[in-house]
């Protein structure tokens, strides 16, 4: 493998020398420039694998150089060197397309981690077995094509991304794909549902704790930030974070360090932050329910995931793929979607998006006769009045009691119970799962 080449742009000779020595010890070759003009001249005459540039330069600023590189050398990752505590400058650099940033005084370990991550982008990626599929984000509707292209671009950056979209639209899939395509792909992807962590345990879950920090803390425990070291931490439903945790999270993101509960020192962490929510974060900021400074830190780049109703041309392909997965999971023959079922799906608004489509088709595959799903098998909900939900609850309870009686009469034999109820074993299995009967 040829030696990789890094362009260093800084008007301070001491900083340039420090960077050149550090990168030289990493077996990298370097070229240095003291101005934007010198850097552009070098970029025009030789190839580079990474550019490190200071924010303030005698004839301009680093943002201008980032924009120039984005336009003329889009495959070249560029990292910004910012003044200590200058988070606004760092965010501006990320928005302009910088790969990442490092603050002065330069922490050499953090610098080496940044350089190693950036240089992964310059190395050829081994193709996926059987090609590079788009199965994680399938669909040929224009919104999906745009989404995949944006995901590919964002995977080359370390900028925090806030993924917005309705419940069930596939926000975690998008986050996983950004991680998979990026330089951190070989490191952990750690998802956490911020709304599912009890408030009293939240600080320990995120930052870890030391032995004896509180009653029951019998051993040291690493937090989610440490578990994601070198990789990606995905904060799902980030709008559910209580305000006191928003403060602590903001500090950890800005300082790139965490302090375990009961600990007396901070632990440096290197993670990329991706977040997601189905709520309007900007409105929550206005209402005082979400901190503005954390909003700007997480929402450096905003990415919207289309709702299923906005990409209905993908419905036949999505339904076919889901039914194939169901058949594979159940180890049965392939299921087929009848024309009347497809037309019924096309007229449905899908408030629960892809997740709801998966549930609808799993239910239909259970209830259908043979291997063909018809419109009646979908059992799509109609618009109901205020008593509709109460009626559904009543019918579900009666169904539960009937199944429990049948199981009691057959001494728990599910096959015999299904025969007694006049349904297939497959239908019985589905109803047991739906009603939570073990």
281, 304, 327 — which closes off a domain? Answer: 304
Cis status, amide bond into 153, omega within 30 of 0: no
Query: Smallest Cα–Cα separation from 10: which of 25, 20, 23, 21?
Result: 20
Judged against a pLDDT cut of 50, whether residue 303 lies above it is answered with yes
- Residue 131 domain-assigned? no
Task: Cite the DSSP H helix spans in 368-409.
Answer: 375-378, 388-409
Q: Are residues 157 and 24 in the same domain?
A: no
Q: Between 349 and 401, whose confidence is greater? A: 349
Tell me how far CA of residue 376 lies from CA of 28, 321, 329, 350, in angstroms. 65, 20, 23, 17
- Residue 139 domain-assigned? no
- Residue 129 domain-assigned? no
**Contact present, 188 and 230 (Cβ < 8 Å):** yes
Q: Are residues 289 and 356 in the same domain?
A: no
- Residue 418 domain-assigned? yes
Q: Which DSSP helix (H) or strand (E) runs through 286?
A: helix 281-286
pLDDT tens-digit map of 182-219: 999 999 999 999 999 998 889 999 999 988 878 788 88
- Residue 223 domain-assigned? yes
Identify the domain containing residue 289 by its residue range. 145-304
In this structure, of 120-134, 307-321, 333-347, 374-388, the range with the lowest mean pLDDT score is 120-134
73, 104, 120 — which closes off a domain? Answer: 120
**Contact present, 158 and 99 (Cβ < 8 Å):** yes
- Residue 140 domain-assigned? no
C-alpha 244, offset from chain centre: 24
pLDDT tens-digit map of 206-263: 999 988 878 788 888 999 999 999 999 999 999 999 999 999 999 999 889 999 999 8
Q: Are residues 405 and 287 in the same domain?
A: no
pLDDT tens-digit map of 282-293: 999 999 999 999
- Residue 412 domain-assigned? yes
How many secondary structure helices (H) and strands (E) does the chain include? Answer: 19, 16
Q: Are residues 340 and 380 in the same domain?
A: yes
* pLDDT, average across residues 374-384: 77
Query: Smallest Cα–Cα separation from 251: which of 285, 232, 225, 229?
Result: 225
Q: Are residues 341 and 428 in the same domain?
A: yes
Q: Are residues 100 and 158 in the same domain?
A: no
Q: What's the confidence (pLDDT) of residue 138?
A: 92
Q: What's the confidence (pLDDT) of residue 436?
A: 79
Q: What's the confidence (pLDDT) of residue 232?
A: 97
Q: What's the confidence (pLDDT) of residue 213?
A: 79
Tokens 């397309």 -> residue: 97
How are beta strands 78-82 and 100-103 bridged, if at all? parallel
**Three-point CA angle 265, 82, 233, nearest 5°:** 55
Q: Are residues 189 and 110 in the same domain?
A: no
Number of separate domains in the chain? 3
- Residue 325 domain-assigned? yes
286, 304, 322 — which closes off a domain? Answer: 304
Q: Are residues 291 and 197 in the same domain?
A: yes
Q: By three-state DSSP, how is residue 158 classified?
A: coil
The CATH number for 215's domain is 3.40.50.300
Query: Smallest Cα–Cα separation from 31: which of 44, 156, 98?
Result: 44
Query: Smallest Cα–Cα separation from 174: which of 200, 187, 155, 202?
Result: 155
Query: Smallest Cα–Cα separation from 435: which of 377, 396, 407, 402?
Result: 396
Q: Are residues 351 and 427 in the same domain?
A: yes
The CATH number for 326's domain is 1.10.8.60
**In whole numbers, what is the pLDDT of the chain averaged over residues?**
89
Token pair, residue 101, equals: 């940033």
Q: Are residues 350 and 404 in the same domain?
A: yes
Q: Are residues 293 and 177 in the same domain?
A: yes
Q: What's the confidence (pLDDT) of residue 131?
A: 39
Q: What's the confidence (pLDDT) of residue 67?
A: 94
The neighbouring-strand residues paired with 257 are: 268
Token pair, residue 93, equals: 């650099």
* pLDDT, average across residues 368-384: 82
Read off the pTM.
0.80
User: Which residues, including other chains, have CB under 8 Å from residue 195's CB and lie 6 or more apart?
Assistant: 237, 240
User: Which residues, including other chains, have CB under 8 Å from residue 13's CB and lie 6 or more apart?
Assistant: none
Query: Smallest Cα–Cα separation from 162: which of 310, 295, 307, 308?
Result: 295
pLDDT tens-digit map of 57-67: 999 999 999 99
**Three-point CA angle 99, 101, 105, nearest 5°:** 155
* pLDDT, average across residues 329-351: 92
Determine if residue 253 is left, alpha or beta; phi over 0 gives left, psi from -120 to 50 gives alpha, anything else beta.
alpha
Q: What's the confidence (pLDDT) of residue 423?
A: 81
The CATH number for 48's domain is 3.40.50.2300
Q: Are residues 346 and 419 in the same domain?
A: yes
**Contact present, 174 and 354 (Cβ < 8 Å):** no
């Amino acid at each position: 493998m040829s030696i990789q080449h890094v362009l260093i742009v800084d008007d301070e000779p001491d900083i340039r020398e420090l960077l050149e020595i550090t990168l030289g010890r990493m077996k990298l070759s370097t070229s240095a420039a003291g101005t934007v003009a010198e850097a552009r001249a070098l970029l025009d005459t030789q190839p580079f694998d990474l550019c490190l540039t200071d924010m303030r330069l005698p004839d301009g600023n680093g943002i201008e150089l980032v924009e120039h590189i984005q336009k003329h050398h889009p495959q070249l990752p560029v990292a910004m060197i910012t003044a200590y505590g200058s988070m606004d400058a760092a965010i501006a650099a990320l928005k302009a397309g910088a790969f990442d940033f490092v603050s002065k005084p330069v922490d050499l370990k953090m610098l080496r981690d940044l350089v190693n991550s950036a240089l992964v982008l310059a190395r050829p990626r081994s193709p996926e077995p059987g090609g590079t599929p788009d199965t994680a984000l399938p669909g040929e509707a224009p919104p999906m094509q745009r989404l995949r292209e944006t995901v590919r671009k964002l995977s080359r950056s370390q900028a925090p991304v806030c993924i917005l979209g309705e419940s069930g639209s596939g926000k975690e899939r998008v986050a996983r794909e950004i991680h998979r395509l990026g330089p951190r792909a070989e490191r952990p992807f750690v998802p956490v549902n911020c709304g599912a962590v009890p408030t009293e345990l939240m600080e320990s879950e995120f930052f870890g704790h030391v032995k004896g920090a509180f009653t029951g803390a019998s051993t040291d425990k690493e937090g989610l930030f440490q578990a994601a070291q070198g990789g990606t931490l995905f904060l799902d439903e980030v709008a559910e974070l209580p305000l006191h945790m928003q403060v602590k999270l903001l500090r950890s993101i800005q300082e790139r360090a965490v302090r375990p509960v009961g600990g007396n020192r901070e632990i440096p962490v290197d993670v990329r932050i991706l977040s997601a929510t189905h709520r309007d974060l900007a409105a929550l900021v206005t209402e005082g329910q979400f901190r503005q400074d954390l909003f700007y830190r997480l929402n450096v780049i905003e990415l919207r995931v289309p709702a299923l109703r906005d990409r209905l041309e993908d419905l036949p392909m999505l339904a076919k793929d889901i039914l194939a997965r169901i058949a594979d999971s159940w180890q049965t023959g392939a299921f087929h979607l009848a024309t009347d079922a497809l037309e019924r799906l096309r007229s449905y608004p899908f408030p629960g998006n892809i997740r709801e489509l998966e549930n609808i088709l799993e239910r239909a595959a259970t209830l259908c006769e043979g291997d063909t799903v018809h419109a009646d098998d979908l059992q799509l909900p109609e618009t109901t009045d205020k008593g509709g939900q109460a009626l559904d609850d009543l019918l579900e309870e009666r169904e539960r009691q009937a199944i429990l009686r049948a199981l009691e009469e057959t001494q728990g034999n599910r096959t015999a119970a299904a025969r007694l109820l006049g349904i297939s074993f497959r239908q019985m299995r589905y109803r047991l799962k739906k009603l939570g009967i073990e």
